[in-house]
Amino acid sequence: MDNNRWWRGAVIYQIYPRSFLDTDGDGVGDLPGILDRLDYVASLGVDAIWISPFFKSPMADFGYDIADYRAVDPLFGTLEDFDRVLAKAHGLGLRVMIDQVLSHTSIEHDWFTESRASRDNPKHDWYVWADAQPDGTPPNNWLSIFGGVAWRWEPRRGQYFLHNFLASQPDLNFHNPAVQAATLDNVKFWLDRGVDGLRLDAINSCFHDTKLRDNPPKPVELRFGRGFSADNPYAFQYHWYNNTQPENLRFLEDLRALLDRYPGATSLGEISSEDSLATMAEYVGEQRLHMGYSFELLTDDRSAAYIRTTVETLEAKMPHGWPCWAISNHDVVRAVSRWGNGTDDAVLAKQLVALVSSLRGSVCLYQGEELGLTEAEIGFDDLQDPYGIAFWPNFKGRDGCRTPMPWTDGPNGGFSDEKPWLPVSDAHRAISVKAQDADADSVLNGARAFLKWRKQQPALLHGSIAFLDAPEPILCFVRRDAAQSMLVAFNLSDAQVEWTLPEHGAASPIEAPGTTAGAIRDGRLVLPARGVVFATF
Ligand code: NOJ
């Protein structure tokens, strides 16, 4: 395999730095903490890390509001700390991907300070400014995903500015070529430093409709979310005009041309549009992004039919492009809680690691997923996420999936000597890294064994995918490449199921460590609760 294509079939471990390890006793994780635990990360058998934002920021959205793209926030350390993380990761054979939040900045970015000051300063059109309607209301009906209208009044200019996210995250005006050039220059800064790839935040939100047309209303029955709940008014409209504009494609091509100057550098776009799978197919390709991921498997629907339809729909639209799958991240309820029922969480957690890393594509594994962490219960008084505070109590925000890593069963789970920014629950301390390290049968050791085994299976790394017509709750498909043809089956329920394979000539199980193994008897698939079968086929 061409070394520059390392990202195809790779497992990318997502580190949320605030919650990984605190080394300076301020209750917030930091880059030296990541440095300290890179050996642990390497022990998982993953290929790369993606570090969520660690740049200078007032932290209104915990770093997804950047005030200086080239500086490390003192909360996380220094640029030298980052260089040390990069060097050590490379020494361990891990690639390093960083989060680039290009579509918006923090309200504290110098660009915005200048832009907001007057209507005629040199950066006056670096953000999306618009006059009020005659009655003083905002220019159109666009809404912020985090609550309320997407426009905030700026008295200095007597105009509104656009914010698709928080009011402290103004949207840049990408229609301005100077904004694109400055953005690419910031990206280049990190590529020159040696990073191996970019995770591109909300990448389809860079451009807006210059005519500022109203988004049309959406019927009630279609208001299901991709990372937002159906009772969020954001779900009440089709987001045709505030994001995913055709001009975005040209910008992606310029970004790709820059990346192509750095052999092996990759990109992974976060895509959430009215038809995220179609947008992924448009955005991913030889001249655009290397990979994309969407919220399709980050939702509540976990049926075999849903997973199959999602993958097949994407395959049909994007037969050659490279997907990346995630079932957990820092934005959604942890998969074990979202897809489980509170019983046998460890068995489910092992199955989910195998499931997400058996689909065609690369994988994002979110810190704690390898431990089978459940969603933490956070009381209103401990809540940090402004999104959760705005929609409480119907939607509790994202704090429950962002609590610190439990390294030990000691105070604060060994994450910090001081009170952590979010509490570490007793349930998490009970399944700490230390405890699981010592248990051969733990989710952690299961994930390690599975990922190590997966590396030896060419069909799982690079093969095609084709589904068999298995009945619910069985998800069954064949992964095939020139060297190997492999049947993969998952029982997504808590009860044993059996099913006669339609073609079973040569199906013979291969032992996949770290899973609850099923069997094939006389051409009949026998899957215990949450069981898994891998077989030559
Ligand atoms: C997507 C990120 O994953 C999320 O955490 C963030 O709040 C928004 N983009 C805005 O940057």
Q: Which two tokens stand for residue 27?
A: 């209750």
pLDDT value for 1 = 45
Q: How far is CA 382 from CA 49, 282, 420, in A?
A: 29, 41, 11
pLDDT for res 505: 62
- Of 134, 180, 129, 178, the C-alpha closest to 155 is 129
Instruction: For residue 132, tell me if it sits in a domain.
Output: no
Cα 63 from Cα 52, distance rounded (Å): 8
Rounded mean pLDDT, 477-502: 96
Q: Is the CB of 166 under 6 A from ligand 1?
A: no
The answer to whether 358 and 480 have CB atoms below 8 angstroms apart is: no
Look at residue 324 and tell me if it is in a domain. Answer: no
Question: What is the average pLDDT value for the chain, to the nearest integer?
Answer: 96
Residue 327 lies in a domain: no
The total number of structural domains in the chain stands at: 2
Give the pLDDT confidence of 62-114 residue by residue, as tens digits.
Answer: 999 999 999 999 999 999 999 999 999 999 999 999 999 999 999 999 999 99
Residue that is last in its domain, among 72, 101, 130: 101
Q: Is residue 153 part of a domain?
A: no
For the cut 70, the answer to whether the pLDDT of residue 475 exceeds it is: yes
Ligand 1: atom nearest CA of 103 is 11
pLDDT in tens, 509-532: 999 999 999 999 989 999 999 999
Q: Which residues span the domain enclosing 59?
A: 1-101
pLDDT of residue 228: 74
Cα–chain-centroid distance for residue 247? Answer: 24
Please identify, among 101, 118, 137, the residue that sits at the C-terminal boundary of a domain: 101
Mean pLDDT of 358-371: 98
Q: Which residues contact 450 (CB under 8 A, 6 or more apart)?
A: 350, 353, 354, 357, 512, 513, 514, 515
What CATH number is attached to the domain comprising 88? 3.30.750.90
Does residue 42 fall inside a structural domain?
Answer: yes
Query: Could you tell me if residue 312 is inside a domain?
Result: no
Q: Which of 101, 131, 146 is the C-terminal boundary of a domain?
A: 101
Please indicate, yes or no, if residue 229 is contained in any of the structural domains: no
The verdict on the CB of residue 280 being under 6 Å from ligand 1 is no
In short, whether 228's Cβ falls inside 6 Å of ligand 1 is: no
Domain presence at residue 413? no
| CATH assignment at residue 510 | 2.60.40.1180
pTM of the prediction? 0.98
User: What whole-number distance in Å separates Cα of residue 325 and Cα of residue 54?
Assistant: 23
Q: Which atom of ligand 1 is nearest to the CA of 387?
A: 7
Whether 270 is catalytic is yes
